[in-house]
């Protein structure tokens, strides 16, 4: 699997980059159907890490009223807003939040989107465990949570939303590592009104080394998906 760390990248630029890989993978799968087995070109798998400037994104099933500020206020906060083609409702991305976009042909792994989402969550859960934080899942709510079973303390540390077509995935997770949580006050995160959000640095009381946590995430991701990550130069 090709791995790329895109650094800090504009959301739309990165979305277009994802779409290019995603669409090329699907096109190759369609082409392969009409070729003999010996002539088929194997599809590739990709994992992208990135941070975005302040941006709010609304999934295709989301409610636009969950963005609580207008266009002028967005401008004042130096934030942008996009309606996008993943599942889920509204979320925030910004500096200090580690975003991952796995663009996988699940025919190489398993054709089960439920299992796919659970493995993405497990990547985060195992990584948090290395920092002494016990995380888990909230029934019926995709993502990674702390104290999910306590209605008064439940808080989300990682949001997830994906798109899948012909068993090819895109979009992924937004993991609050050193994120500025104030920006979440401008939305109803993921459309969930009765639970808060948190970040790793808030839970630990200090900022976290991003390079260190990237290596931990890569380790657990490659183990769970039984793959080897190979660095690829940015196109």
What are the DSSP E strand ranges found in the chain? 2-8, 46-51, 55-58, 80-83, 90-93, 97-103, 136-138, 141-146, 155-165, 168-176, 196-197, 230-231
Return all residues near 220 (Cβ < 8 A) that are at least 6 apart. Answer: 122, 123, 126, 127
Task: Just list the catalytic residues.
Answer: 190
- How far, rounded to the nearest angstrom, does the alpha carbon of residue 217 sit from its chain's CA centroid? 12
Q: Please state, in angstroms and rounded to a whole number, the distance separating the CA atoms of residues 58 and 82.
A: 6
**Nearest by Cα to 58 from 166, 188, 170, 197:** 188
């Amino acid at each position: 699997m090709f791995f790329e760390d895109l650094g800090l990248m504009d959301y739309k630029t990165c979305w277009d980059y994802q779409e290019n890989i995603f669409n090329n993978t699907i096109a190759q799968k369609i082409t392969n159907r009409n070729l003999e087995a010996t002539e088929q070109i194997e599809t590739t798998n990709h994992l992208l890490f990135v941070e975005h400037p302040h941006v709010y994104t609304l999934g295709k099933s989301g409610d636009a009223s969950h963005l609580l500020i207008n266009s002028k206020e967005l401008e004042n906060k130096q934030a942008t807003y996009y309606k996008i083609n993943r599942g889920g409702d509204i979320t925030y991305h910004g500096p200090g939040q580690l975003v991952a976009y796995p663009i996988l042909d699940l025919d190489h792994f398993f054709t089960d989107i439920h299992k796919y989402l659970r493995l993405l969550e497990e990547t985060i859960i195992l990584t948090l465990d290395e920092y002494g934080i016990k995380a888990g899942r909230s029934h019926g709510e995709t993502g990674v949570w702390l104290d999910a079973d306590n209605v008064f303390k439940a808080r989300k540390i990682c949001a997830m939303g994906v798109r899948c077509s012909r068993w090819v995935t895109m979009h992924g997770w937004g993991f609050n590592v050193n994120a500025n949580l104030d920006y979440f006050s401008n939305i109803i995160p993921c459309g969930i009104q009765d639970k808060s959000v948190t970040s790793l640095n808030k839970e630990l009381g200090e900022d976290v080394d991003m390079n260190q946590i990237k290596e931990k995430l890569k380790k657990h991701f490659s183990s769970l998906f039984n793959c080897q990550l190979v660095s690829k130069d940015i196109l």
